[in-house]
Structure 1
Amino acid sequence: MHAFLPAVDCAPFLAAELERSGAKAQADEATGFVFADTLPALPYLAFARQSLPESTEVKDASINGWADQIITRIAGVLPDAQPWRLHLWTAYGEGRAGLHRCSLIRAALNERLKKRRRALLRSLEDGTAPFTQETSLVQAVLTGPDAGYISVSSAPQTLALRAILSPFIGGNIPHAEDKAAPSRAFAKVIEAELRLGQQIERGQTCVDLGASPGSWSYVAIQRGARVTAIDRSPLRDDLMRNPRLDFIQADAFKFRPEQPVDWLICDIIAAPQRSIDLLLEWLRERQMRRFIVTLKFKGTDEYALMDQLKELAPPLCQDFRLNRLCANKNEVTAFGIAAGI
């Protein structure tokens, strides 16, 4: 059994997405998770915030019992002397009781590892850096005071599933805050960068399609990148005056750079099929090295359009992601690294 934590209010859409991939899926209102009998053949799930592959249900009221359950699952399973991470989190309630319980389980687990499995304790690491070929991920999620699930993803499976398996606990990234940005849309760029493990850097080149009022260009300029912003309307005055910004008043869908750029960033308001086609054209024409592109929806009828992107984009990419970001509204963001540029 595989468990998936859906993005907020997206359980039915995640279940439908899994069904389209060939899995038998069911949303569980009691836990908030969606369960499926198989992983998707194409490892992309736009509406999954976090995945728990090969999850096992645990019912134990004891702190020590949970610690023992985790050790039983990982002993002899995790590759020797290779790094692993533990995501121990709660998916029930809104108070601190669940968090406190997780802290107690972690403390009990550490004590047991010190006594029985020192090698495992030495290779346990913290952090949210992108997974490597050697990283394993152990997840223990409490869905109630005495119930939950344990999932173990051993290397190199963790890296292979990086598009649906997040290095962030529960797949959650708090919204970035910057009152100086033209709008809150800038948070989508920050979150996509964090999930990808790469960010816009000083000296790089960016094309921002549909740039006005300028929140995505703002992020790139703050980082020291040079931005070509394309829109029918100008950006905020201070951005228009910035020497690292070149503004071109034009149709964003028709623009192409003279040579490949480091980043294509696009938060344009358009029908999702147009944005999908735009991204695929840029990838096929090898116009950018990395990309962040928002797909904006009206209602829910067009969600299945993303299936073509799951099939056609990955062969053109070194790394491809498709996620309903924490900062998205009725949107999904495609981001990644293009192949061979």
Structure 2
Amino acid sequence: MAAGKIMNGYLCANGWEETLSRELSAAGVGEHFHSPAAGLVVGESHTSGLRYEPIFARQWLPSCIAVKGTSLTELIQALGAALDPVLDSNPLPWTMHCCTPDFYSEDSTHYEFLSGRAALLHEKFIQRMAKYRKRTLEKYQNWETIDEKRPCFIVQAVLTDTDCLWVSTSRRFKTETGRFVPFMRSLIPGSIPHDSQAPCRSYYKLEEAWQQAGIFPRKGDVCIDLGAAPGGWTWAALKRGARVVAVDFAELKPHVENHPHCEHSIDNGYAFMPARPADWMFCDMIVRPMATLGLLERWLEHKACRKFVVNVKFRGKEPETILTAIEELRHKHQLTKLIIKHLYYDRNEITLIGGL
């Protein structure tokens, strides 16, 4: 490895490793990006490169190394050898998250055979610390209960095979968008609470978009949901006290249709334009990606909304042309706070969250 560089890792959805590697290389944040295991990309970069927020990454693994052991006992010993010097000298409370890479992929079974081993490894490692590193263990706080707002040191142990573990140690730091990474439990993809009344799966997509951006509709906000049926995104906004104009020729679920703050406009979502600016515009329509971006541009030109969440769908796993068009839109309309993410609930699509 070149002098002054460290190995950094990123976790992504299974099958998107090459897309993420190309994105990181094109952004100039490092080199030699490759995927040693499904859902994991690693490469060499300067520390400053970590401030870049990749579209296709779902978690950061700063300063990561591979640790190996032919048995669970050997793996824990090797993990201890790697972590003891770091944790002994660390003055902050520390926490640990053990998982497999597909913890960040919806409905993945790629690492199903390792899920129990990851939990066992965490349990046995803490037992080992209690025996050999009692003073260091005094600073340990459980991942599920640690105060995310206070400074802490994060250990991530990502099991990629029975004998291989990728280990990352770091404090949290700010990305270029001002978000703190590595993500802790409140921003872990897939952490949206289940809603038995959600009309469809896309409900979780919008909730995650708001969660990732840290902005949400307020009570009384006016939202326009283009292509709303069966009402997943409309329902998410209604739950937060917003008033929603749901635009679609198709039917909404009855409990959405009959909500007192829902107005069902039986119209073409692609062509719809409100008489006065809305607080939010939502769009999750199945149309060509450039058509979706064209729709967004019309709304921006008319200043028809203050904020928006737009889902852009595409085929394959080479969205570079689409990303170029999005960057042109960003610069043209000065969308300085635009967030572009391949969400946990996204498939062949990316989600744009932004505003004027």
TM-score interval for Structure 1 and Structure 2 normalised by the shorter chain: 0.7 to 0.9
State the match for 2:58 in structure 1. Answer: 49
Shift of 1:217: 0.6
Secondary structure in 1 aligned to 2:58? strand
TM-score by length of 1: 0.77
Judged with a 3 Å threshold, the aligned counterparts in structure 2 of structure 1 residues 151 and 176 are, in CA distance, closer, same or farther, namely same
Shift of 1:100: 0.9
CA–CA separation in structure 2 for the residues paired with 1:110 and 1:287: 59
Residue of structure 2 aligned with 1:86, choices 77, 81, 96 = 96
Q: Which whole-Å deviations, capped at 9, do the CAs of 1:218-270 have from their partners, x for residues lacking one?
A: 22223432112233445345433332012332444552462451x33221222
The alignment status of 1:148 with 2:165, answered yes or no, reads: yes
State the match for 2:335 in structure 1. Answer: 316
CA contact (8 A) 2:172 2:182 kept: no
State the match for 1:101 in structure 2. Answer: 121
State the match for 2:17 in structure 1. Answer: 11
Q: Which whole-Å deviations, capped at 9, do the CAs of 1:194-234 have from their partners, x for residues lacking one?
A: 43445445444322122122221122223432112233445
**Between the two proteins, what is the percent identity of the paired residues?**
26
Residue of structure 2 aligned with 1:2, choices 5, 8, 13 = 8
Aligned pairs for 1:230-249 within 5 A: 230-248=247-265, 249=267
- Gaps in structure 2 of 5+ consecutive residues: 1-6, 102-110
TM-score by length of 2: 0.74
Shift of 1:159: 8.5
2:60 aligned partner, one-letter code: S
Judged with a 3 Å threshold, the aligned counterparts in structure 2 of structure 1 residues 312 and 153 are, in CA distance, closer, same or farther, namely farther
1:184 aligned partner, one-letter code: R
Judged with a 3 Å threshold, the aligned counterparts in structure 2 of structure 1 residues 155 and 191 are, in CA distance, closer, same or farther, namely closer
Secondary structure in 1 aligned to 2:345? coil
Aligned pairs for 1:142-291 within 5 A: 142-157=159-174, 162=179, 165-168=182-185, 171-173=188-190, 177-178=194-195, 180-200=197-217, 202-248=219-265, 249-252=267-270, 254-256=272-274, 258-261=276-279, 263-279=280-296, 288=305, 290-291=307-308
State the match for 2:349 in structure 1. Answer: 331
Q: Which whole-Å deviations, capped at 9, do the CAs of 1:105-150 have from their partners, x for residues lacking one?
A: 13434665642464x33xx463499965845533222223443222
Shift of 1:328: 2.0
Secondary structure in 2 aligned to 1:326? coil
Q: Which whole-Å deviations, capped at 9, do the CAs of 1:316-339 have from their partners, x for residues lacking one?
A: 355x43332232221122235x47
CA contact (8 A) 1:47 1:323 kept: yes
Shift of 1:303: 4.1
Matched positions, count: 330
Aligned pairs for 1:15-26 within 5 A: 15-22=21-28, 23-26=30-33
Judged with a 3 Å threshold, the aligned counterparts in structure 2 of structure 1 residues 32 and 328 are, in CA distance, closer, same or farther, namely closer
Q: Which whole-Å deviations, capped at 9, do the CAs of 1:286-311 have from their partners, x for residues lacking one?
A: 65555432111133444442245368
Judged with a 3 Å threshold, the aligned counterparts in structure 2 of structure 1 residues 59 and 18 are, in CA distance, closer, same or farther, namely same
1:195 aligned partner, one-letter code: Q
1:138 aligned partner, one-letter code: V
Shift of 1:167: 2.4
Shift of 1:45: 2.2
Shift of 1:52: 1.0
CA–CA separation in structure 1 for the residues paired with 2:146 and 2:283: 25
CA contact (8 A) 2:315 2:348 kept: yes
Shift of 1:170: 11
State the match for 2:107 in structure 1. Answer: none
Question: Aligned-pair RMSD on alpha carbons?
Answer: 3.9
Shift of 1:9: 1.5
